[in-house]
Structure 1
Amino acid sequence: MNRKGSAWSAALETLEFLEKNKVKGYVIGGAVRDTILSREIEDIDIVLEGAPDIVWSLFPHAVQPSSSFPVFIVPRHGYVFEITTFHPDKESLQMNLEHRDFTMNAMTVEISGNLIDPYGGQSDINRRLIRSVSSPLQRMKEDPLRKLRAFRFVSEFNFSLEESTWQAVCADGIGLQDTAKERIQREIEKILEGKACSRALELLLASGVISDFPDSIKPEYILTNQKSPELEDFSTIEEKWAVFFFLLYSEQACCFVNSWPIKKRIRSRIHYIIKMCTANPGGVNWDTEMVYQNGWRTAIQIETVSQWLTGVQDNKRLEHILNLAQSLPIVSRDDLQVDGRDIVRQHPCLPGRWIGYLLDYLEEEVLYGRTANKRDELLSLVKEKLSHER
């Protein structure tokens, strides 16, 4: 297996380093898969023969995230390697590969470039097939999160699920109740980001896997026969998450957003989109003030999700938002040609509570075109306002 690329070169150089230290290592998993697919390598996993202690001796700066698992994070040549070990006296390389999730991730490459593929991963890649290694049910029992990973790979690669793998994914008694919500959230986000996310989400809904989520994020009921929206039509991850929450929780979507460990900034945006759509079931009445307050990007997100909810696609409403945004004299208060310091310099004895009040006043006057956003005119307006109200 001969491939070019700096990430792949770094991986092979690491195998050479191991060999010089009389340790046999292999590139394994996603890096091999992505190289076959001619995709950019994101993760470099290496498995080496020996006890975990050997990693510390060879890579003093290695980090072991959990003492419960012999997995080490090693920064090297500008990349981050994930290194695991197996003891050749207790386990063969093939036995190690047997416990991988899917055949396309159960391939490894030696330092010579020779591909070791005992479970037909390359053939499955060529057939665009996601297939569990050996016993599908056993693989799912080892880590129930693999159920979601199956849908993630459907979304990411637009592959199909092999029948026995699909049956194992749908099998009862292998739930995600004890799986950390953070792990579930990461897999769902990768599903939503994939190029075939609609197809993957439709399969996820049909599988019944969601009914086995932890109680804090499990919906009361899920319609397994509902058709997924064309998520590829949504341009941002916030929109896709909002649709996902509506699919799972319907009118209770707003209540469940904060139960998911999504990054706070993104979660706040998702919550706001859902809140606005729920509060305006017939669609938001967009005017100058609404577009200004929300910002045109957020307004477009709200309108896009709202149109999906109502089932009415109306590009004129989207154009209306953009036209309003283009006509705005300012995009935010920061665009005003004066700020609080300017007002204080002109009126040094002014109580602090007046500053915000006056800035609100100037912002509104400029927004509705009653005065120009010019420094001298705004300061004159402040002086005039104070003369009338003090």
Structure 2
Amino acid sequence: MKVLVTGGAGFIGSALIRFLVQQTDVFVINLDKLTYAATPEALDAVRGSDRYRFEAVDICDRTAVERVFEQYHPDAIMHLAAESHVDRSIDGPEACVQTNVVGTFVLLEASRHYLKRQSAMERSRFRFHHISTDEVFGDLAPDALPFTEASPYSPSSPYAATKAASDHLVRAWGRTYGVPVVLSNCSNNYGPFQYPEKLIPLTIFNALRGEPLPLYGRGDQIRDWLHVDDHAKALFRILSQGQVGETYLVGGQSERTNLEVVEAICDHLQLRLPRPHGYRQLIRFVDDRPGHDRRYAVSPSEALTALGWSRQYTFESGIRQTVDWYVDNREWLYGSGADGSRQGAGGSG
């Protein structure tokens, strides 16, 4: 099975590729244009595999994308490439529109025309797996039940709006053109190799340097946290066993306020690297960002659990593993390009 992974040098994409190469017999083609948030080092473990290839391609470049399809003849595409940082989408929304909307359109069109040239058996085997976010559903009331596949879309940020648009495009190409699509929406991811502009790695980065740990508002925004390795396993289950046209929700069942997340990081850092007066004293509350959603929460869909998937990490075990990894890999963390200037207190992972 040949799988084309877009955004495979990103945080979730690289975790997915490591899983596919190391724990399955899938042949992986990694298509990534290597933006600021790419983590090529996250793929060192698979770079020498004869089942891994890398193509430096922008998903908005239709000619290059079509060339990759013709060269490798993939059996499936797992589309993760996206501009995913909410703060950056507010500062400059055009990049989100180009990558998340136009890029998805280019991939869908390339898939549609590619399938026209395949046999009936090859068309029936092909899958276009679109990986999205729970942020498309918008704000969730504190006492409301978690999002489901039937939840209406109500995105708040330019990032969430462009991901919602890409979801709609994928469903439309499935219904109108018969592209065999499957979708998944995940909650906030965390784990090793995450670029330090997101809440968890940025908090660790600043704490290790004794710098302030900024939190929007009072840090009472609630997110559901999913370890990236659990997510990677779910994505493969969805690709290999999921039903065409189905949407799967992937959640960690680990709702925490941002303040609780930061405090958990501080407490584990104190065990690993004791600091006089501890790390919690570094927490600083800052002005909230525009349109900041109060809560996101998803429970794994029944369709996903029916495929035999369940999380392996609790929040407690996952955050310990994650903090330990960053502490043990401080050279990568400090060399990742982070400057500690972004808040990192709300975007999805």
TM-score norm. by structure 1 comes to 0.21
Higher strand proportion (structure 1 or 2): 2
Higher helix proportion (structure 1 or 2): 1
Larger radius of gyration: 1
TM-score norm. by structure 2 comes to 0.22
